[in-house]
């Protein structure tokens, strides 16, 4: 979702910029990868590293070993990395050690929670990057506090919103609501995958109990991340989940279908950073099952509310939304669908 708009924007500079897409294989499941390439009309990756799953150390190391081969062969003038996953920090490390400049899209975001692996990835990547493309004002403040040279920082807006703007009309033609027998504004949409929520049996069980209570009021659609499904099975919670009558457990869906579900949901319950942003843009109430967020603008001006592991607060907010008392929000500055164009223009001048 972050690469597709940039790939599209760089076509304008095809005479001076050649870009190659490297798929690390970190998101190796077809439902989490190939379908997104298809939905976002991305070409087949120029390079596929095929790294697959593993611990954080294993995955980061595998990406570094394989990406180093690409760097040694191609000697690119610049490597662009996005977000905060293991691939982001791995490719940044390889590039920096090879004396190749790094540009980080979505720089400066901070949760100030170092128990999150993504926070470590963000801090390390930003410290190594030569160009830092910031999505919201908090990112500017954070990078300045960390002593990053202002000349390396550009406030460009949120590239996630570019994809949403481009494909919103296509999502309106999705048949996913029909296939799941859903009416608009009649259901809650759920995504959960972070270790703090799914890696402990007690927490995951309590989440399911909350869903049972919510399901008494409305349908819940839960596209299950492979990590979450594995945890549910290993903790013996699969039958408990399946016993909740109005909880629709479905396989992960593609970007277009998910966008259609999100835009038609009464509310969204998530622990994903990107979904906090998309719901804010769409004006959809978002309840985040985390104690903190690296995207504070979604709380400060958007529709996002943090619930952490406070399940009473979660139910309180669900009931408020169902009573028509949901939090109203506005769209943060430069979340206008033109971020990729701004980044491409800056890259063209390097």
Does the pLDDT value for residue 255 go beyond 70? yes
What confidence tens digit (pLDDT) does each residue in 176-199 have? 999 999 999 999 999 999 989 999
What confidence tens digit (pLDDT) does each residue in 285-323 have? 999 999 999 999 999 999 999 999 999 999 999 999 999
Contact 108, 80 (CB under 8 A): no
Q: What is the DSSP string of 233-268?
A: HHTT-HHHHHT-TTEEEE----HHHHHHHHHH-SEE
Does the pLDDT value for residue 8 go beyond 60? yes
pLDDT confidence of residue 35:
78
Residue of 54 and 329 predicted with greater confidence: 329
What confidence tens digit (pLDDT) does each residue in 51-69 have? 988 899 999 999 999 999 9
Does the pLDDT value for residue 146 go beyond 80? yes
Return all residues near 71 (Cβ < 8 A) that are at least 6 apart. Answer: 79, 94, 95, 98, 100
Active site residues per annotation:
193
- Nearest to 184, CA basis, from 223, 230, 136, 221: 221
Domain 172-322: assigned CATH number: 3.40.50.2000
Q: What is the DSSP string of 302-316?
A: SSEEE-TT-HHHHHH
What confidence tens digit (pLDDT) does each residue in 256-283 have? 999 999 999 999 999 999 999 999 999 9
Residue of 139 and 35 predicted with greater confidence: 139
Q: What percent of the chain has a predicted confidence (pLDDT) above 70?
A: 98
Q: Which residue has the tokens 């062969």?
A: 73
pLDDT confidence of residue 226:
87
Residue spans of the domains in the chain: they are: 3-157+335-348, 172-322
pLDDT confidence of residue 32:
58
Q: What is the mean pLDDT of residues 136-148?
A: 98
pTM for this prediction: 0.95
Does the pLDDT value for residue 93 go beyond 70? yes
Output the CA torsion sign for 70, 74, 78, 82: negative
Topology of domain 3-157+335-348 in CATH is Rossmann fold (3.40.50)
pLDDT tier, 172 (very low <50, low <70, confident <90, very high otherwise): very high
Domains 3-157+335-348 and 172-322 share a fold: yes
CA atoms within 13 Å, Cβ hemisphere of 54: 15
**CA–CA dist 350, 347 (Å, integer):** 5
- Nearest to 188, CA basis, from 266, 102, 300: 266
Average pLDDT over the chain reads 95
């Amino acid at each position: 979702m972050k690469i597709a708009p940039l790939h599209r924007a760089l076509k304008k500079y095809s005479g001076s910029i050649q870009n190659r897409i490297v798929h690390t294989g970190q998101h190796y499941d077809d439902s989490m990868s190939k379908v997104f390439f298809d939905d976002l009309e991305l070409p087949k990756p120029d390079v596929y590293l095929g790294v697959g799953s593993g611990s954080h150390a294993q995955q980061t190391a595998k990406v570094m070993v394989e990406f180093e081969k690409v760097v040694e062969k191609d000697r690119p003038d610049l490597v662009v990395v996005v977000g905060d996953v293991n691939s982001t920090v791995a490719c940044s490390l390889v590039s920096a050690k090879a004396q190749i400049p790094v540009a980080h899209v979505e720089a400066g975001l901070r949760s100030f929670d170092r128990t999150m692996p993504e926070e470590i990835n963000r801090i390390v990547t930003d410290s190594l990057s030569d160009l830092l493309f910031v999505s919201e004002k908090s990112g500017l403040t954070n990078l300045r506090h960390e002593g990053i040279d202002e000349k390396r920082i550009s406030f460009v807006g949120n590239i996630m919103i570019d994809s949403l703007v481009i494909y919103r009309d296509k999502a309106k033609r999705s048949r996913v609501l029909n296939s799941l027998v859903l009416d608009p504004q009649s259901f809650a949409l759920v995504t959960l995958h972070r270790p703090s929520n799914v890696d402990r049996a007690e927490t995951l069980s309590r989440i399911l109990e909350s869903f049972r209570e919510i399901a008494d009021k409305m349908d819940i659609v839960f596209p299950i991340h492979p990590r979450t499904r594995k945890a549910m099975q290993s903790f013996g919670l699969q039958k408990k989940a399946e016993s909740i009558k109005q909880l629709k457990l479905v396989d992960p869906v593609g970007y277009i279908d998910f966008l259609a579900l999100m835009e038609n949901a009464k509310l969204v319950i998530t622990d994903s950073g990107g979904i906090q942003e998309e719901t804010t843009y769409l004006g959809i109430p978002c309840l985040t099952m985390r104690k903190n967020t690296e995207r504070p603008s979604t709380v400060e001006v958007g529709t996002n509310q943090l619930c952490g592991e406070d399940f009473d607060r979660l139910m309180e907010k669900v009931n408020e939304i169902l009573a028509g008392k949901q939090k109203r929000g506005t769209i943060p500055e430069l979340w206008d669908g033109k971020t990729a164009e701004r980044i491409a223009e800056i890259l063209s001048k390097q």
